[in-house]
């Protein structure tokens, strides 16, 4: 399947570009959603196949991507995917060699051009390119950037439950987050709102303790990068479903249902981190649940 790795949207003087690391069938719906049954898949076959679910392999297509924002003379990266050469428990993430830096370069950006990295949360598939291997050490990939990390999030991953949670994936904190803290590149932020006149960071806790979303506005348009508030269209059909990866499934459920209620039937472009190409779309009410209406990028 051919994918558009560089869809671009504009919001006045602000632009948003997808930098895709991977987009392929990856997760069993039964693994990610404890509530999912075969009956749910059968009932939603038209919603899922062929673009969002590989029926033969019984896997949901999961995109892993970053969002590149150019605004006010700043170059901002939201999340940094899985990264290369990282030791991981899950084979899909283990010692990979993704052409992600080449895709960043194709968007006209070098690592040293990044001014700010916004870490929506600290999960293996959102922090990998924070660092790269250099002579056996993990060093910041973006040497001139401030990395914005939730203080609440960092505290969790340093706690006993957070450290224990790393066993499932491999210790991405030590190779992809700790070097940023130690080098002085990290800025630990509170649950604040705002960043600039046209960009706002807003708490959306539950999936992880400090998970946040990023809101953009300009040129009469609005968008929100919703991170891992939802992972697939199934969660619009079944808003009560939290994932097996949610640290606080109940809080994640509350956050998601509030997010969907707040954004439905409004012309706010929503960019869920893991939705396949074109990723962006509008949340629409559909009876007692919701639907996602995909919208093509402004330019490809």
At 257, which CATH number?
3.60.15.10
299 belongs to a structural domain: no
173 belongs to a structural domain: yes
26 belongs to a structural domain: yes
pLDDT for position 300: 46
Total count of domains within the chain: 1
Whether 172 contacts 128, CB under 8 Å: yes
65 belongs to a structural domain: yes
Whether 189 contacts 150, CB under 8 Å: yes
Does the structure show a pLDDT above 70 at 4? Answer: no
Q: In what order do the strands lie in the sheet with 199-203?
A: 199-203, 212-218, 221-227, 268-272, 281-286, 289-294
Backbone angles phi, psi at 32, to 5 degrees: -75, -35
Residue 187 three-state SS: strand
82 belongs to a structural domain: yes
72 belongs to a structural domain: yes
Confidence at 3, pLDDT banded by 50, 70, 90: very low
pLDDT tens across 11-43, in order?
999 999 999 999 999 999 999 999 999 999 999
- The domain in which residue 86 lies consists of 8-294
83 phi-psi bin (left φ>0, alpha ψ -120 to 50, beta other): left
pLDDT tens across 56-92, in order?
999 999 999 999 999 999 999 999 999 999 999 999 9
Does the structure show a pLDDT above 80 at 2? Answer: no
3 belongs to a structural domain: no
Distances in whole angstroms, Cα of residue 28 to Cα of each of 25, 34, 57, 222:
9, 11, 9, 33
DSSP secondary structure of 19-60: EEEEEEEEE-HHHH-TT--HHHHHHTHHHHTTTTEETTTTEE
pTM of the predicted protein model: 0.96
pLDDT tens across 233-259, in order?
999 999 999 999 999 999 999 999 999
Whether 276 contacts 5, CB under 8 Å: no
pLDDT tens across 35-64, in order?
999 999 999 999 898 889 999 999 999 999
The whole-number average pLDDT for the span 180-198 is 93
């Amino acid at each position: 399947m051919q994918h558009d790795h560089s869809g671009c949207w504009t919001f006045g003087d602000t632009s948003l570009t997808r930098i895709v690391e991977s987009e392929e069938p990856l997760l069993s719906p039964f693994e990610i959603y404890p509530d999912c049954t075969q009956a749910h898949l059968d009932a939603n076959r038209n919603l899922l196949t062929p673009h969002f679910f590989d029926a033969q392999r019984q896997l949901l297509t999961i995109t892993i991507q970053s969002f590149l924002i150019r605004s006010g003379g700043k170059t901002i990266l939201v999340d940094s995917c899985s990264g290369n050469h990282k030791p991981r428990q899950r084979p899909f993430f283990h010692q990979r060699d993704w052409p992600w830096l080449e895709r960043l370069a194709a968007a006209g950006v070098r690592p040293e051009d990044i001014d700010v990295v916004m870490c929506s949360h600290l999960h293996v598939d959102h922090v990998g390119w924070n660092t790269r291997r250099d002579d056996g050490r993990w060093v910041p990939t973006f040497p001139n950037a401030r990395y914005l990390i939730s203080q609440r999030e960092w505290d969790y991953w340093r706690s006993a439950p957070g450290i224990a949670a790393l066993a499932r994936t491999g210790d991405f904190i030590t190779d992809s987050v700790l070097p940023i803290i130690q080098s002085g590149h990290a800025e630990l932020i509170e649950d604040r709102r705002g960043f600039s006149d046209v960009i706002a960071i807003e708490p959306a806790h539950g999936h992880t303790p400090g998970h946040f979303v990023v809101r953009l506005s300009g040129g009469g348009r609005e968008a929100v990068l919703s991170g891992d508030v939802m992972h697939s269209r199934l969660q619009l059909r079944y808003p009560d479903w939290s994932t097996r990866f949610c640290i606080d499934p109940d809080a994640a459920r509350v956050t998601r249902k509030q997010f969907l209620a707040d954004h439905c039937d409004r012309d706010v472009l929503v960019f869920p981190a893991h939705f396949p190409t074109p990723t962006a779309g509008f949340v629409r009410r559909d009876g007692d649940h919701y639907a996602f209406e995909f919208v093509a990028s402004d330019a490809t």
